[in-house]
Structure 1
Amino acid sequence: MPPRGLWRFVLHYSHGAIPWLVALGLFSGVIAVIEVMLFGWLGDLVDRLSDTPRDMFWAQEGARLAMMAVVLLIVLPVLNLLASLILHQSLMGNFPQRIRWQAHRYLLHQSIGYFQDEFAGRIAQRLMQTALAVREVAMKIMDVGSYVLIYFLGALVLAGSQDWRLALPFAGWAAAYGILLWLIVPRLGRVAEAQADARAGMTGRVVDSYANIATVKLFSHSAREEAWMKEGMDAFLHTVYRQMRLSTIQDVTLNAINVALIGAVTTLGLWLWSEGRIAVGALAVAVPLAMRLNNMSHWIMWEFAALFENIGTVRDGIASLSLPRQVLDAPDAMPLRPGPGEVRFDHVTFRYAGPRGARPLPVLDDLTLHVAPGERVGLVGRSGAGKSTLINLLLRFHDIEGGRIAIDGQDIARVTQDSLRAAIGVVTQDSSLLHRSVRDNIAYGRPDASEAQIAQALHMAEAHGFVPGLTDSHGRRGLDAHVGERGVKLSGGQRQRIAIARVALKDAPILILDEATSALDSEVEAAIQSRLDQLMRGKTVIAIAHRLSTIAAMDRLIVMDAGRIVEQGSHADLLARGGLYARLWARQSGGFLAADAAE
């Protein structure tokens, strides 16, 4: 997990870039020293021009001028070239991309609950802007920070070396400048943190609207979406107004102290020169130095403001990126050993986190269930009975509160999550697809699959009839056609059949069907049911269906209510028993469970 502290977080994501950052800081410091020295040489040159006869000037000063020329025309450009190469060729592109890669790898292993609690667009926005902000914080401290610090100290020393009183205006300016930084820049940082959060929220709203555009149009809520989006934009714009007010105060105040610096240095320098305490060369050093600081001060202020703004962005990113994974592999976790597919729940208790201060009721309460290898089991019950939770716990999307879940005698909490999920094939009611080709989506179940195996999976899922006719906006056809975000270019039935083909290709020993045929029309469902029977052959199957007729032929039906198993047996046995299953079956309308308002 990335550290929660700001500087430790920046350092964590700067590993590998540190040598380049140090080199950049060194080059920037040396450049600052040389630039200040040039002002000193300029003042010295003015004095020598005044004191040396013209016919002897080149003989006496030629070597010194040649050295200055070498420094100015060769050394300084070479140092700037090296600093530019480090900045633009090593750090600007590679540094944030490395951060995005590291953070993305961490987020991919976050728990399902993490992604359920946030906008996907908001998470993506924070990932992207935090990477850039970390780069800017690290680079501004090493590059701008070292340059400014050394430049100012050098200017102070240089002015004081002419006459100690000439250093006083620079010291006073530095104090006023520091107070201005102390008052304005941290506030800009706090505004930037709020702005980063508002920007991420605004982006999340945009993505949420676009991702659910069909729902927006179906309910004719374009105006409502506009209002919802405007609310997010107004929240972001409010932070921009705060930022701009602070920037105006900063600019006006900075101009005032800069004018005061130039006036004080010029007045004091002229007085000291008129009193014969300094030479004219000292004026040639002090006044241009003050004017140079005047020009630099706005750049420095904006750089420091940008530094604190990026610090605010990093702090906002830490809130999303530096969160512990709720489900972790055990330190000594081993891959799940292949087996026949026995599944066992032993006294399992689980509850979701409730509102702060409230103790949530258990979703599963001391549940025990044994599924033999190759057995086909159907889970039945009203909504909220705990069926989907049981499946999510088997996939270890959450950790249980008590009890044990085992596959082939191996506690799933002691095996790696990747190997656990590799042994389970899942077809859900809403199987979303990746915005990639049909081939990529099917081969997601087995990346090394051959074309023949993919074709076989298509036939098994009754998808071979429509896939050859698919096209996309780039002219790709058939298996190469892209399906759109979450598979929106396909109908629900087509999307479901691609998902079934994907699981068929995966060929895992344990198969979970969660309303697997609910998106199919009756004709296609009838055609694919025999294929599902073929898919289930030799596998341990756990199926959930509200349409009881689709699972009535299972080896055993498990009836759940309020997190407990209340009945189990074959379809005929449960009907004869006259319990909850028989009542559910009797209340079916058109093959679906009817709502029971009284219960």
Structure 2
Amino acid sequence: MCQCGLFLLREGNFKYVSFFESLVNPFPSGEPRTPPRGLLPFLLHYSKPVLPWLTVLALITALVSVVELVVLSYVGSIVDWLADTDREVLFAEHGRALIGMALLVVVGFPLLVLAQSLFTHQTIFGNYPMIARWLAHRYILGQSLNFFQDEFAGRVSQKVMQTALAIRETVLKIVDLFVYVLVYFLGALFLMGSADPWLMLPLGIWLGIYLAIGFIFVPRLRLISMAQADARAQMTGRIVDSYTNIQTIKLFAHTMREQEYARGAMTGFMDTVYRQMRLVTVLTVALQTSNALLLASVAGIGIFAWQQGAISLGAIAVAIALVLRIRSMSDWILWEVAGLFENIGTVQDGINTIAQPPTVKDKPDAKELVVSTGDIRFEQVRFGYGKEPPVVDGLDLHIRPGEKIGLVGRSGAGKSTLINLLLRFYDVEGGRVLIDGQNIAEVTQESLRRQISMVTQDTSLLHRSIRDNIRYGRPDAPEEEIVRAARRAHADEFIRELEDQKGRVGYDAHAGERGVKLSGGQRQRVAIARVILKDAPILILDEATSALDSEVEAAIQEQLYTLMEGKTVIAIAHRLSTIAMLDRLVVIDEGRVVESGTHAELLEQDGLYAALWQRQSGGFLGLEPQEAVG
């Protein structure tokens, strides 16, 4: 190992290395922007923080290739000196040149390699892909809800991870190939031409053949690589989907079915691998054949020229050394080019996922939502998820400050759609939604959702501690308020008895992915504790107690009534008995409000609500009359 390498390994000298590591911030600040969809603009989008150091690296790489050529040229000179100079006067005549060459080889070249390695491995290698991961992850977190509904979570995460690495590999390979190779080949042509112009001929012909091989094979490899990147993400997505829903798979005894489901994606991936390897075999044979022809032709021309007295032995030595170096480089170059286009394929595949613009965006002048009373208005709202007929069509609804209403209607009537529009998971296609007179389309999404608490039927917890899950409602909440919220949700007792597989107990125990380590009722109580802690002025309850047993439900209902005090509340429940005591019930049918009033008033009207009340069987809605009778 060289002295500079030993110096860096000594205790206390890592600070010099850490200096290069700190030249780039892997977590750049600023709001993430929608990445451009063009390849070069997309690469530039994630490369800006490292561009100065990529430029430095390119200059050092050019110097490294120049030094290699200078060393090879000196090798030819040494051969000529040894052939033409007497042993007694060799050092007298050429000593300074030999010492200079020795210093260049022993000191100059290692220092250049050290600088190249420090900028490559310390400044760029780790920081560069992390910049892409960080920016892409932050951007995707801001994507609209429908983006995640249309994609596998595993597939999206795979695209983020592999695209970040592919960006780094693409740019570094471009620097290596177009700087190192350009300088090296131009230098090789110059050295051969200065020895004998005829030596340039086989190198020129070989270069033409080499470029032809590249033009034939590399685009095909790029297309296969794009297909392979997509197939890999599809395979990962299916596998992650199986693991995420393992309880359902076990419940329905579909292990073999899931194996076949994953195998289908794996077979598709292997198809791209086989296609790629077939091209690689033909490419390797073509490359090695052209390399063999280059070596034979340069050696033949060199020997013939030496016989004619046209060139020296040193020139032949340099030419053959260059050819041997080019032979080894050519294999590396073509694989680097193939790898470059493989990474380009991966980047382009990632662009299709990462560079999608959000469907719901904050306006440039969006303000913070300020909720003083909690007055909510839906005015002539129309929405249909981009399809016809719309799910909600011309709906008008006014929820007064502090009013507690229940949304009632058959499945598909538009109840959940209204909630999604209020939370601005989607933008209305017509009309507007107002909170305290402020159009929610003109305020920031985060400020809107900070003012709304929601408990859903299908509660999903983060794979973090129970404390962190509850604190998600208010991140700055002290410990005593977290415990108080858990007690109010009747969760404290079971939380204190929890222990996970790593021995963490109570509030430190982890909930498992999506809260799988807890029962449905336990997850629901943790979610209610989270909402209690958040204490937002608008409260949405979507089957909030459906996963609870009767005794716990009765206890929590009391806490929910307490929680509702002073808040505007929208509740959805299939069991009408759970919302019958609210201030007003709003009946929705075919995307419109068809009835509104108290439970008693609606029964007196003998309309749709009364029919639903009569038909209710087992606590659920949506049955047609003949189904209810049957």
Q: TM-score category by the smaller chain?
A: over 0.9
Asked if 1:211 is matched to 2:244, the reply is yes
Asked if 1:182 is matched to 2:210, the reply is no
- Check whether the contact 2:137–2:160 (CA below 8 A) recurs between aligned residues: yes
- Check whether the contact 1:28–1:144 (CA below 8 A) recurs between aligned residues: no
Distance of 1:508 and 1:201 partners within structure 2: 40
Distance of 2:99 and 2:618 partners within structure 1: 98
- Check whether the contact 1:468–1:479 (CA below 8 A) recurs between aligned residues: yes
- Check whether the contact 2:457–2:542 (CA below 8 A) recurs between aligned residues: yes
- Check whether the contact 1:261–1:290 (CA below 8 A) recurs between aligned residues: yes
- Check whether the contact 1:517–1:525 (CA below 8 A) recurs between aligned residues: yes
Asked if 1:133 is matched to 2:166, the reply is yes
Match of 1:338 among 371, 378, 382: 371
Which position in structure 1 is the counterpart of 2:585?
A: 557
Which position in structure 2 is the counterpart of 1:357?
A: none
Distance of 2:155 and 2:608 partners within structure 1: 44
Local SS of the residue matching 1:567 = strand
Which position in structure 2 is the counterpart of 1:89?
A: 122
- Check whether the contact 1:343–1:407 (CA below 8 A) recurs between aligned residues: yes
Which position in structure 1 is the counterpart of 2:548?
A: 520
Residue type matched to 2:144 in 1?
A: S
Match of 2:262 among 218, 224, 229: 229
- Check whether the contact 1:24–1:143 (CA below 8 A) recurs between aligned residues: no
Which position in structure 1 is the counterpart of 2:454?
A: 426
Local SS of the residue matching 1:277 = coil
How far off is 1:186 after superposition?
1.4
- Check whether the contact 2:411–2:622 (CA below 8 A) recurs between aligned residues: no
Distance of 1:187 and 1:7 partners within structure 2: 20
* Identity across matched positions, percent: 58
Superposition pairs of residues 85-484 of structure 1, within 5 angstroms: 85-354=118-387, 360-484=388-512
How far off is 1:215 after superposition?
0.7
Distance of 1:504 and 1:299 partners within structure 2: 62
How far off is 1:466 after superposition?
0.5
Residue type matched to 2:385 in 1?
A: Y
Which position in structure 1 is the counterpart of 2:3?
A: none
**Long gaps (5+) in structure 2:** 1-33
Which position in structure 2 is the counterpart of 1:63?
A: 96
Which position in structure 2 is the counterpart of 1:540?
A: 568
Q: CA-to-partner distance for each residue in 1:169-225, whole Å, 9 max, x for gaps?
A: 111111111111111111111111100000000000000000001111111111111
Distance of 2:175 and 2:372 partners within structure 1: 56
Distance of 2:171 and 2:333 partners within structure 1: 16
Which position in structure 2 is the counterpart of 1:52?
A: 85
Match of 1:27 among 37, 60, 66: 60
Distance of 2:159 and 2:325 partners within structure 1: 38
- The alpha-carbon distance between structure 1 residues 598 and 332, as it changes in their structure 2 partners (threshold 3 A), is farther
Distance of 1:187 and 1:6 partners within structure 2: 18
Distance of 1:487 and 1:368 partners within structure 2: 38
Distance of 1:48 and 1:452 partners within structure 2: 87
Local SS of the residue matching 1:519 = coil
Q: CA-to-partner distance for each residue in 1:469-521, whole Å, 9 max, x for gaps?
A: 01101100000000000000000000000000001100000000011011111
Q: CA-to-partner distance for each residue in 1:126-168, whole Å, 9 max, x for gaps?
A: 0000000000011111133311111111111111110110111
Residue type matched to 2:585 in 1?
A: L
How far off is 1:598 after superposition?
5.9
- Check whether the contact 2:371–2:435 (CA below 8 A) recurs between aligned residues: no
Distance of 2:620 and 2:293 partners within structure 1: 83
Distance of 2:451 and 2:521 partners within structure 1: 26
Match of 1:502 among 522, 530, 552: 530
- Check whether the contact 1:512–1:543 (CA below 8 A) recurs between aligned residues: yes
Distance of 1:85 and 1:440 partners within structure 2: 40
Distance of 2:409 and 2:434 partners within structure 1: 23
Asked if 1:584 is matched to 2:612, the reply is yes
How far off is 1:61 after superposition?
0.1
Distance of 2:444 and 2:321 partners within structure 1: 67
Asked if 1:2 is matched to 2:35, the reply is yes
- Check whether the contact 2:456–2:544 (CA below 8 A) recurs between aligned residues: yes
- Check whether the contact 2:199–2:298 (CA below 8 A) recurs between aligned residues: yes
Which position in structure 1 is the counterpart of 2:105?
A: 72
How far off is 1:302 after superposition?
1.0
Superposition pairs of residues 4-19 of structure 1, within 5 angstroms: 4-19=37-52
- The alpha-carbon distance between structure 1 residues 597 and 138, as it changes in their structure 2 partners (threshold 3 A), is farther
- Check whether the contact 1:374–1:538 (CA below 8 A) recurs between aligned residues: yes
- The alpha-carbon distance between structure 1 residues 194 and 158, as it changes in their structure 2 partners (threshold 3 A), is same
Local SS of the residue matching 2:406 = strand
Residue type matched to 1:291 in 2?
A: L
- Check whether the contact 1:137–1:310 (CA below 8 A) recurs between aligned residues: yes
How far off is 1:70 after superposition?
1.2
